[in-house]
Chain A
Amino acid sequence: MNWLSQNLHIVGQLLADHMVLSIPPIVLSLLISVPLGRLAAGSRRLRTPLLTGTGLLYAIPSLPLFIIIPAVFGFSLRSPATMITALTLYGCALLVRGAADAFASVPQEVRLAAAATGHSPWGMFWKVELPLAGPVLLSSLRVVTVSTVSLVTVGAVIGISSLGTLFTDGFQRNIDASIVTGIVLTVVVAFVLDAVCVLGARIAMPWRRAVSRA
Chain B
Amino acid sequence: MIEFDAVRKEYPDGTVAVERFSLAIPSHRVVALVGSSGSGKTTLLRMVNRMVDPTEGSVRIDDVDVRSMDRVRLRRSIGYVLQAGGLLPHRTVADNVATVPVLEGRGRRQARAEALGLLERVGLDTALADRYPAQLSGGQQQRVGVARALAADPNILLMDEPFGAVDPIVRDQLQQEMRALQADIGKTIVFVTHDIDEAFALGDEVVVLRTGAEVAQRGTPAEILANPADEFVASFVGAGTARRTLRIREVDGRDVVVDGDDRPTGVLER
> How many A residues touch B, CB cutoff 8 Å?
20
Q: Are B148 and A207 in contact (CB under 8 A)?
A: no
Q: Which residues of A are found within 8 Å of B164, using beta-carbon distances?
A: none
Closest to A109 in B: B86
Query: Closest CB of chain B to A202's CB: distance in Å?
Result: 13
1/0 contact trace for B59-89 toward A, CB 8 Å? 0000000000000111111001011101111
1/0 contact trace for A45-62 toward B, CB 8 Å? 000000000000000000
1/0 contact trace for B81-116 toward A, CB 8 Å? 011101111111000000110010000000000000
Q: Does A132 contact B (CB under 8 A)?
A: yes
Q: Are B75 and A116 in contact (CB under 8 A)?
A: yes
Q: Which residues of A are found within 8 Å of B103, using beta-carbon distances?
A: 117-119, 123
Q: Are A211 and B134 in contact (CB under 8 A)?
A: yes
Compute how far the CA of A117 lies from the CA of B87 in the bound complex, rounded to whole angstroms: 10
Q: A116-B80, A132-B90 known; A207 and B75 CB under 8 Å?
A: no
Q: Which residues of B are found within 8 Å of A119, using beta-carbon distances?
A: 72, 103
Q: Which residues of B are found within 8 Å of A210, using beta-carbon distances?
A: 131-132, 135
Select the residue from B83, B90, B91 with max chain A CB neighbours within 10 A: B90
Q: Are A211 and B49 in contact (CB under 8 A)?
A: no
Q: Does B51 contact A (CB under 8 A)?
A: yes
Compute how far the CA of A4 lies from the CA of B82 in the bound complex, rounded to whole angstroms: 64
Q: Are B75 and A112 in contact (CB under 8 A)?
A: no
Tell which of B51, B131, B135 touches A116, judged by Cβ atoms closer than 8 Å: B51
Closest to A212 in B: B134
Query: Closest CB of chain A to B228's CB: distance in Å?
Result: 33
Q: Which residues of A are found within 8 Å of B75, using beta-carbon distances?
A: 115-118
Which applies to chain A's interface (DSSP): helix, strand, loop or mixed? helix
Q: Which residues of B are found within 8 Å of A123, using beta-carbon distances?
A: 103
23 A-B residue pairs with Cβ-Cβ distance under 8 Å, sorted by A, are A109-B83, A110-B86, A112-B86, A113-B82, A113-B87, A113-B88, A117-B76, A117-B103, A117-B148, A118-B72, A118-B73, A118-B75, A119-B72, A132-B90, A207-B92, A207-B132, A210-B131, A210-B132, A211-B89, A211-B132, A211-B134, A211-B135, A214-B135
Compute how far the CA of A115 lies from the CA of B160 in the bound complex, rounded to whole angstroms: 14
Q: Which residues of A are found within 8 Å of B83, using beta-carbon distances?
A: 109
Compute how far the CA of A109 lies from the CA of B164 in the bound complex, rounded to whole angstroms: 15
Closest to A214 in B: B135
Q: Does A201 contact B (CB under 8 A)?
A: no
Compute how far the CA of A11 lies from the CA of B90 in the bound complex, rounded to whole angstroms: 44
Q: Are B86 and A207 in contact (CB under 8 A)?
A: no
Query: Closest CB of chain A to B264's CB: distance in Å?
Result: 41
Compute how far the CA of A83 lies from the CA of B82 in the bound complex, rounded to whole angstroms: 50
Q: Are A207 and B91 in contact (CB under 8 A)?
A: yes
Compute how far the CA of A97 lies from the CA of B87 in the bound complex, rounded to whole angstroms: 28
Q: Does A23 contact B (CB under 8 A)?
A: no
Q: Which residues of A are found within 8 Å of B77, using beta-carbon distances?
A: 118
Compute how far the CA of A210 lies from the CA of B93 in the bound complex, rounded to whole angstroms: 13
Q: Does A197 contact B (CB under 8 A)?
A: no
Q: Are A117 and B99 in contact (CB under 8 A)?
A: yes
Closest to A114 in B: B88
Closest to A121 in B: B72
Q: Which residues of B are found within 8 Å of A115, using beta-carbon distances?
A: 51, 75
Q: Are B90 and A117 in contact (CB under 8 A)?
A: no
Q: Which residues of A are found within 8 Å of B82, using beta-carbon distances?
A: 109, 112-113, 116
Q: Are A116 and B87 in contact (CB under 8 A)?
A: no
Q: Which residues of B are found within 8 Å of A158, using beta-carbon distances?
A: none
Since A109-B82, A116-B75, A128-B90 are in contact, a sample of 19 more A-B pairs with Cβ atoms closer than 8 Å, ordered by chain A residue number, is A110-B86, A112-B86, A113-B80, A113-B87, A114-B88, A116-B49, A116-B51, A117-B76, A117-B103, A117-B148, A118-B73, A118-B77, A118-B100, A132-B90, A205-B90, A207-B132, A207-B134, A210-B132, A211-B89
